[in-house]
Amino acid sequence: MRSAQAGMKPTLPKRFYKEAGVEERDGLFHLTLDGRTAKTPTKQVLAVPTRGLAEAMAEEWAGQGDEIDPATMPITRIVNSAIDGVVPRQTEVVDDLARYAGSDLVYYRASEPERLARAQGEAWNPVLDWARDEHGARFSLAEGVMHVTQPEESVAAVRRAVERIESPFALAALHVMTTLSGSVLIALAHAKGPLDVDQAWSAAHVDELFQESVWGEDHEAMERRRKREADFRAASEVYRLTAE
């Protein structure tokens, strides 16, 4: 199966440049390839608000071999999505993130086994405590997967927290972290609160890690999670570098 999957990989474009660099113009930092300004997939200028973020992109481009593999360039992909996707539809992105607050991962708890219930509490209760203390948002918990309706004022508080993130680059990064974790609260608690990137990623995968401790590791599942983790960490870096 792996051999067949490898044979189905798309042909990657050849590297067409020797050097990747950064050039500051008009208060923005442009990615350059052999001195020419790079463009996004929709032909927008590839420029960001901080030098650190531009240099992170340049490092990805400089690290390519004979072919250009977008899978190894997560920071560039997030920046592209910010420019091409978030800038023209920022309100829609906020709407999508706010919807997660109505059915966030951290609301739904296991009653048993006791070890899993305890692990969920240890990972997720600090996130809920932060949302309560920082934003006045209190949420209802449920056992199992039956939907529980959350207080409108609490969901609105999360929306306000997201709306305060004005940078499309930071918003794109938050969206990536939310979709990969299944939790806008974990993403916000990492971006704005007490969780570091390791704690945030572990909190998002309490159930998976518990199942692996019981049944053993699955190679393909671990490989998928490893790739998602790389994207999560890249989004975390984009958020941090945007705020420099």
Structural contact between residues 174 and 93, judged by C-beta atoms closer than 8 angstroms: no
Q: Tens-digit pLDDT profile for the chain (244 aa)? A: 555 555 556 789 999 999 999 999 999 999 999 999 999 999 999 999 999 999 999 999 999 999 999 999 999 999 999 999 999 999 999 999 999 999 999 999 999 999 999 999 999 999 999 999 999 999 999 998 889 999 999 999 999 999 999 999 999 999 999 999 999 999 999 999 999 999 999 999 999 889 888 887 777 888 899 999 999 999 999 999 998 6
Interior CA angle at 98 toward 95 and 104, to 5°?
140
22 sits in which H/E element: strand 20-25
Cα Rg, the chain, nearest whole Å: 20
Task: Say if residue 41 is preceded by a cis peptide, omega within 30 of 0.
Answer: no
Whose tokens are 């023209």? That residue is 88
Structural contact between residues 95 and 103, judged by C-beta atoms closer than 8 angstroms: no
Output DSSP code: residue 27. Answer: T
Q: What is the pTM of this model?
A: 0.92
Contacts 24+ apart (CB under 8 A), 6-12: 12/67, 12/68, 12/69
Domains and CATH numbers, the chain: 2-70 (3.30.2180.10), 88-242 (1.10.3580.10)
- Largest Cα separation within the chain, whole Å, is 59
